[in-house]
Structure 1
Amino acid sequence: MNREFSVSDSVVVNADASVLYDAISDPTKMGSWSPENLGAVVLDPRGGAYVGMTFDGHNKRGRVRWITRSTVTVADPSKAFEFRVYAIGAKSPRFKGANATWRYDFEPVPGGTKVTETWTDDRRKWPDALTFVFDKIVTSGRTFPQFQRRNIAKTLANLQKHYA
């Protein structure tokens, strides 16, 4: 089985790109849309997203909770927001290593803004067999691409519903 390293989906949201960018680029609000994220704490807040901004995300899947540390790699207002997850842990993000990159692109279209959410698996050094087994354990039988497809669809649907 070939490993899939990136999945994405898009939806048109009835809002301006600037409004959606401001909402999504604030990691403290991500819990409003995401099925797993409960929000975040920005480590050096400066009044908006900026490249190099670091935040700790609080996450939950079933009864399991964990914290991730991420750094913003793209902060282009009304156009794109991206962050890279590079540390994870149960109570603090102490285990460092490439994890994932999340990206949001915003494109004005008739009826609002097309929002595209993309997840990229940054675990390139993991052997495929180990990744496959690990993914199935932590996602109740799915690979992470399969699992993230569902999460992305839920996140985008929640965003669309919020701005309906």
Structure 2
Amino acid sequence: MTDPNGASVTATVEIDASPSRVYGLITDLPTLAAMAEEAVAMELRRGGSVCQGAVFVGHNEHAGHRWSTTCTVTDAEPGRVFAFDVRYTVLPIARWRYDIVAVDGGCRVTESTWDRRPGWFRKLAPLATGTKDRTAANTEHIAITLQRLKQRAEAG
């Protein structure tokens, strides 16, 4: 679903687990990579933990294509929000954000992404990623990631 506040794609799921548990899963980079559809690994490169200003590398794969990105954590409020900006070399690619809100018996998690690629690069990106329609792919991937997050969080 497209967000009227500018996100390219956003979706929400209710999870029967505490905000702190869900935040812990999202900010554990190997776990986040395992839940994501294109990510195959995420490695912390700068910073002692996944906190604001930390930098990590994301290794991605889709349809036989492989690429890596550099991600900088922009927001890290335990139990509330985790966000990061994604670059390919010096080019802005995307922003990803997870908002967590406590509700009775658990929390509501909203995952959103903003496509920040320059127009000219959007035309070339399918050659590198194998994905012609990034919005459609991200819509599908967010739904999958949120369901995996729900399953892991509720499994205890």
TM range (shorter): 0.7 to 0.9
Consecutive unaligned residues of structure 1, counting only runs of 5 or more, are 88-94
Q: Which runs of 5+ in 2 are unaligned?
A: 1-5
For residue 39 of structure 1, report the CA deviation from its aligned partner: 2.2
Any idea what SS the aligned residue of 1:52 has? Answer: coil
> Residue 106 of structure 1: CA displacement?
0.3
Structure 2 SS opposite 1:146: helix
Name the residue aligned to 1:81: 82
Is 1:159 the equivalent of 2:146? no
Do the aligned partners of 2:21 and 2:153 also contact (CA within 8 Å) in 1? no
Match of 1:126 in 2: 119
Question: 1 CA distance for matches of 2:125 and 2:105?
Answer: 38
- For residues 135 and 112 of structure 1, what CA distance do their matches in structure 2 show? 38
8 Å Cα contact 1:29-1:40 kept in structure 2:
no
Task: Find 1:102's aligned residue among 92, 96, 102.
Answer: 96
Aligned to 2:66: 65
Superposition TM-score, scaled by structure 2 size: 0.85
RMSD, aligned CA: 2.0
Q: Taking structure 1 as reference, are residues 140 and 53 closer, same or farther at Cα in structure 2, changes over 3 Å only?
A: closer
What is the aligned length? 148
The structure 2 residue matched to 1:147, chosen from 134, 137, 140, is: 137
Change over 3 Å in CA distance of 1:49–1:163 after alignment to 2: same
Partner Cα distance (1:99, 1:141) in 2:
15
Q: CA deviation at 1:44?
A: 2.9
1:136 CA drift (Å): 5.8
Aligned-residue sequence identity (percent) comes to 29
Q: Please tell me whether the aligned partners of residues 57 and 70 of structure 1 are also in contact (alpha carbons under 8 angstroms).
A: yes
